[in-house]
Amino acid sequence: MKIRLAEARDIEQLIKMRWDFTIEFDENKKEEAYDTFEKECQTFLENALKDLNWFIWVAEENNQVISHIYIKLIEKVPRPGRITYPFAYMTNVYTIPANRNKGVGSRLLSAVNDWTEENNYEFVIVWPSDDSINYYKKNDYVPCKEPMEYFPLQKSRDT
């Protein structure tokens, strides 16, 4: 198994994996048009691969992406008296079902953790699903206080 950053040649697989990930947890999304999603995701991935604040890590086996983790760096406003490092927002963590419970995701997450330490990122934040909490705990992640949220689109829909 090879762990590396995603490349343009991975885009088609990453789009399909994102679709499968969504459908796995929300069967109602099967009604959505794949073509529309594919175009939007293609544009996102092409831009993300060029963006210096997006890092898409993949685990590859036999030229197939079998797991991925997306990281978005968030720059912090500098503060007097300390060096300011960005923090990492982790999202879209997924391993294809046939490769789950074989250590693939943990090996990939370990590589990402090493990378965040090597680059002095202040912390990594992830919003795990209920099913993935133990996965993160066994990989040294700890619960944190819940952030507050504001939903501007929801507010406009309610009025």
Domain of 110 in residue numbering reads as 2-158
132: DSSP letter: G
CATH code, 14: 3.40.630.30
Contact 108, 3 (CB under 8 A): yes
| Cα gap 23→27, rounded to integer Å | 5
104-151 residue pLDDT tens: 999 999 999 999 999 999 999 999 988 899 999 999 999 888 777 788
Q: Which of 16, 69, 20, 63 is nearest to 42 (CA)?
A: 16
Q: Is the pLDDT of residue 159 over 60?
A: no
Q: Which pLDDT score, from 0 to 100, does residue 158 have?
A: 61
21-59 residue pLDDT tens: 988 877 766 767 889 999 999 999 999 999 999 999 999
Coil, helix or strand at residue 116: helix
Which residues are 95's β-sheet partners? 67
Looking at the 3D structure of the chain, how many domains does it have? 1
Q: How many residues does the chain have?
A: 159
Banded model confidence at residue 157, pLDDT cuts 50, 70, 90: low
